[in-house]
Chains A and B, each alone.
Chain A
Amino acid sequence: MLLINCPYCGERPELEFVHGGQAHIARPANPAECSDQQWADFLYRRDNIKGLHAERWRHTHGCGRFFNALRDTTSDLFLATYKVGEQPPTQAQLKGATA
């Protein structure tokens, strides 16, 4: 079974987790100033990346926290997980971790 590393609980089986969509989408500071197109983009338009993708995940049947994960969408390999509010690890950091 695929193990996902929760930043709070450690490695847990995948069936405790729920996918939460693309990560790092900032809500416009003042929605009233957005055009309809900008607002629709914020609400609905998401990247559909083949390869490394930053996603939100939630440890629903565990600690209940949301966190972010870097996942390769072609191989389903989780390269890193990190807490909400933190920046994703850079390519150099990822290379250092896997080397």
Chain B
Amino acid sequence: MRDLSAARQGPYIAASPLVRPLPPATRLLLRGNSEVMAAALGALGLEFAETACRAASASGRSALWLGPDERLLLAPQGAFSEVFELLRAALAGRPHSLVDVSHRQCALEVSGPQAGLLLNCGCPLDFDPAAFPVGMCTRTVLGKAEIVLWRTAEHRFHLEVWRSFAPYVSKVLALAARELTP
């Protein structure tokens, strides 16, 4: 596979004090049954659990639960070959689907004590730490765009946004941030 990462430009991200773009990353979408998930997460050194809407994370690698048979795997940009080969070896002979979606999405980070309040401008989920604890992740909607939301700390959220939705999502957040006191 030709590496075109040097020629690629990130999408436009509206400036906002609470939102910052995260660097490019390796993203793989894995689908398969529990056996496949257990083998894949084991190979990546992550803890496997069937619990819905929870992310496992260790040493820069993460696996986000998106559905009973679907996980989004995240790793640093340079780790693609290593992660892909690990997964290919671990999943050989098991029916599964492993798709590289690194370039389909970009990541945003929303942080600050008002991060949950800011996201509530377009996302009706309850961001109380009891209802949406640290480590919870889910696919949901923000305004008119579908996003993947992951709470990495009490006052920090990781957003996976499709590339073409990123200008819209960042503008919605930047506009809403003007309503909040800095």
- Chain A residues with CB under 8 Å of chain B are 1, 8-10, 12-13, 15-16, 61-65
* B124 in contact with A63 (CB, 8 Å): no
* B125 in contact with A63 (CB, 8 Å): no
Cα(A8)–Cα(B125), bound, Å: 16
Task: Please give 8 more A-B residue pairs, beta carbons under 8 A apart, in addition to A8-B52, A13-B125, A61-B140.
Answer: A8-B67, A12-B140, A13-B124, A15-B124, A16-B141, A62-B138, A64-B67, A64-B70
A68, chain B: closest CB distance, angstroms: 16
* A63 in contact with B146 (CB, 8 Å): no
Tally of contact residues, B, Cβ under 8 A = 13
Q: Can you list 26 A-B pairs, Cβ within 8 angstroms, ordered by A?
A: A1-B124, A8-B52, A8-B67, A8-B68, A9-B52, A9-B53, A10-B52, A10-B53, A12-B125, A13-B124, A13-B125, A15-B124, A15-B141, A16-B140, A61-B139, A61-B146, A62-B139, A62-B140, A63-B66, A63-B68, A63-B70, A64-B66, A64-B70, A64-B139, A65-B67, A65-B68
B115, chain A: closest CB distance, angstroms: 19
Question: At the interface, is chain B mostly helix, strand, loop or mixed?
Answer: strand
Residues of A within 8 A of B138 (CB): 9, 62
In the complex, number of A-B residue pairs with CB atoms less than 8 Å apart: 37
Map CB proximity to A onto B42-67 as digits: 1 under 8 Å, 0 otherwise: 00000000001100000000000011
In the complex, what residue of chain A is closest to B145 when comparing beta carbons? A61
B158, chain A: closest CB distance, angstroms: 17
User: Considering the complex of A and B, which 6 residue pairs feature the smallest CB-CB distances, nearest first?
Assistant: A63-B67, A13-B124, A64-B67, A61-B141, A61-B146, A8-B52
Cα(A62)–Cα(B138), bound, Å: 6
A47, chain B: closest CB distance, angstroms: 29
Residues of B within 8 A of A9 (CB): 52-53, 138
In the complex, what residue of chain B is closest to A64 when comparing beta carbons? B67
In the complex, what residue of chain B is closest to A6 when comparing beta carbons? B52
B177, chain A: closest CB distance, angstroms: 22
Cα(A7)–Cα(B70), bound, Å: 16
Residues of A within 8 A of B53 (CB): 9-10
Cα(A8)–Cα(B139), bound, Å: 13
Residues of B within 8 A of A62 (CB): 67, 138-140
A63, chain B: closest CB distance, angstroms: 4
Cα(A74)–Cα(B68), bound, Å: 32
Cα(A9)–Cα(B68), bound, Å: 10
Cα(A63)–Cα(B71), bound, Å: 10
- Given A8-B68, A10-B52, also A63-B141 (CB < 8 A): no
Map CB proximity to A onto B115-131 as digits: 1 under 8 Å, 0 otherwise: 00000000011000000
